[in-house]
Structure 1
């Protein structure tokens, strides 16, 4: 991947990590799916659409150049932030890292800052244990 950036003169400016659900069947067949599929490989997750069953596709992406830099697939019941460390390796040299509220934690924020990147993280309203100043910095970091 570094060969591409070095030889085609692409710039590492904006990157993200995110996940998406992969559903093996329609929601109307969820009862059958639950009984049929291996529970060690598939799982349930709660999204804005409600409870969903399947696997998740976790990826790191160069936003400006539309490159998938790294990815992994796991059961949907595993939270996105559990894969942050593995996927962060592929994007830590980017100048700005954009993440959704699933990654709103002080540990992730600190790791991005210590790599020299600017974190732009959506706020998780349920995350009330973090300092107000930390959240204010994240909100002000969205000047891209």
Structure 2
């Protein structure tokens, strides 16, 4: 009953104030929406919603948090080549403007002892842990930033 009364008064307010109140209400709803609130809450940091955005988020986060680490690999297996576009955007930007050397790899043959690797796919991470002893340096949402210590 209370909700109905509040809704009635809200609608009366919108009716009287026309578009001004609609803009205010829209902004209030947009800020309270979960993804937008998380952006606002974390000082304009965007959190990935889709699995394909995980590695791009990790590349960007590592560049910000560890600016001295400029060479590492992204271990990513995709069904379609277009799935690497998002992470590739961040890699190409960092390579061009900040002299990073980041490679996207899709198999374990390109992994060497001492390599720094980003991996967000659970199945690949499990397989990596079965074949190598690893040290997890940091975690960004679902992505792991790790160092390969030795082969098992």
Q: TM-score, normalised by structure 1?
A: 0.26
Q: Which has the higher helix share?
A: 2
Larger Rg computed on CA atoms: 2
